[in-house]
Amino acid sequence: MKKTQPDKDINSGRRRFLGTAGAAFTVASARPAWGGSTLMDAMGSFFQDHYQRMSAEEIADAIGRIERRAQRRYGVDITCKDVKPQDNVVFGYALNISKCKGYRDCVSACVRENNQDRGSQMQYIRVLEMDSGSRNLERSEHYYDPETVPVEGKYYLPVQCMQCDDPPCVKACPVNATWMEPDGVTVIDYDWCIGCRYCMTACPYWARHFNWREPEIPAEEINPDTHYLGNRPRPRGVVEKCHFCLQRTRVGRQPACQEACPTGARIFGNLLDPNSEIRRVLATKQVFRLKEDLGTEPKFWYFTD
């Protein structure tokens, strides 16, 4: 996996802090593990506050724990960044279903990019094989497995988190562990989620997934370039979902699914930029949104040629 440039501005201050804090932690780390982590870190995690209430210093502390935990669990040095949203950016997605051929390259790229649990085969994107002439989801095939795709008489409908502008999952969460960021992406504080799964009940797109077991990822497949609210390794017992690859998109890159798509069906960009490609699609193509009648205002559109 290609490693990307870490965001220098964000990291330099944090690294200075970790330099001093890290020295203090070395003693603790050498001690016998307590529940898979040092007692210091376990206590730190237990008393860790909600992401939105933490000071920069507390977040740096939390990031230190995240990186040490990844080292202990997977033996991999990851970088966890907390790149903040950019001003005047709201992300949106448009998908050309005429071009989608059902290869599911987006699915596998997403799994690798976002460090999803291989044990339970968690996937943020589900590509539905649909009968031509129908958009009835209940007649969709979720586990299609023919020799070759596309299959005659079928079309393919990839579904992932729609990043609703009025997200029912956010409303549902009893502890504010999930919220919409200023750039329009609904994120989860994996260290605050209590695992009640009410958000999964509330989501009309089946976009939320739960870590029923301790996530397992082969060390060599870990993506070490991670974001605090994005693809950092998750603990057991919490919910996760597509976050538009915050670790990439907040530093100006495209999401992994967009890059992986061999047919160019996926258009991702800034909805507030009138010159963006996604704005051109919305202005010139006949678009539709899935289950628009539910009023959740998805920021994910489908269109055809």
Partner 1 sequence: MLAFIRDGVGSMFRGGRGYWLWLGLLGVVIAAGALAYGIQLRGGLIVTGMSDQVSWGFYIANFAFLVGIAAAAVLLVIPAYIFHRKDIKSVVLIGEGLAVAAVLSAMLFVVVDLGRPDRALHMLPIIGSLNFPQSMLAWDVLVLSGYLALNLAIPFYVHYCHYQGREPNFAAYFPFVVLAIFWAIAIHTVTAFLFSANTARPFWNIALLGPRFIATAFVSGPALIIIVLQLIRRFTRYPVPSSVIDTLALIMTVALQISLFFVAVELFTDFYNESSHAASVRYLYFGLEGMNSLVPWVWTALAMNAVAVVILTIHPLRRQRHLLNVACVLAFFGIWIEKGMGFVIPGFIPTPLGEVFEYSPTAVELVLSAGIWAFGALVFTVLARASIAIETGAVGAARSRPGLTISG
Which window, 1-9, 148-156, 174-182, 281-289, contacts partner 1 (CB under 8 A)?
174-182
Cα–Cα distance between 38 and 299 in angstroms, integer? 42
Q: Phi then psi for 301, rounded to 5 degrees? A: -115, 155
Residues 30/22, Cβ–Cβ less than 8 Å: no
Cα–Cα distance between 286 and 81 in angstroms, integer? 38
Cα–Cα distance between 277 and 268 in angstroms, integer? 8
116 or 247, CB closer to partner 1?
A: 116
Q: Which residue has the tokens 């258009």?
A: 267
Strands (E), 202-277: 209-210, 225-227, 239-240, 266-270
Smallest separation (angstroms) from partner 1 to the CB of 157:
9
Query: Is residue 210 near partner 1 by the rule CB under 8 A?
Result: yes
Cα–Cα distance between 26 and 106 in angstroms, integer? 40
Find the binder of partner 1 among 40, 168, 254, 282 (CB under 8 A): 168
Which positions from 238 to 277 touch partner 1 by CB under 8 A, shown as an x/- string?
A: xx--------------------------------------
Cα–Cα distance between 200 and 206 in angstroms, integer? 7
Dig out the tokens for 195 from the structure. 């695992």
209-210 and 239-240 beta bridge pairing? antiparallel
Smallest separation (angstroms) from partner 1 to the CB of 3:
30
Residues contacting residue 63 through CB under 8 Å, at least 6 positions apart? 14, 18, 80, 82, 228
Smallest separation (angstroms) from partner 1 to the CB of 86:
26
Query: Is residue 160 near partner 1 by the rule CB under 8 A?
Result: no
Find the binder of partner 1 among 22, 150, 204, 224 (CB under 8 A): 204
Beta carbons within 10 angstroms of residue 249's beta carbon: 26
Query: Is residue 172 near partner 1 by the rule CB under 8 A?
Result: yes
Cα–Cα distance between 241 and 239 in angstroms, integer? 7
Of residues 183-202, which lie at the interface with partner 1 (CB under 8 A)? 192-198, 200-202
Smallest separation (angstroms) from partner 1 to the CB of 276:
29
Tabulate helix, strand, coil % of the chain (nearest 5).
30, 15, 50
Q: Phi then psi for 254, rounded to 5 degrees? A: -90, 155
Which positions from 12 to 51 touch partner 1 by CB under 8 A, shown as an x/- string?
A: ----------------------------------x---x-
31 or 142, CB closer to partner 1?
A: 142
Which window, 146-154, 224-232, 234-242, 259-267, contacts partner 1 (CB under 8 A)?
234-242
Query: Is residue 289 near partner 1 by the rule CB under 8 A?
Result: no
300-303 and 91-96 beta bridge pairing? parallel
Which window, 12-20, 102-110, 207-215, 248-256, contacts partner 1 (CB under 8 A)?
207-215
Which positions from 113 to 152 touch partner 1 by CB under 8 A, shown as an x/- string?
A: -------x-x---x-x-------xxxxx-x----------
Q: Which residues bind to partner 1, rule: CB under 8 A?
A: 46, 50, 53, 120, 122, 126, 128, 136-140, 142, 159, 168, 171-177, 192-198, 200-206, 208-214, 235-239, 291, 294-296
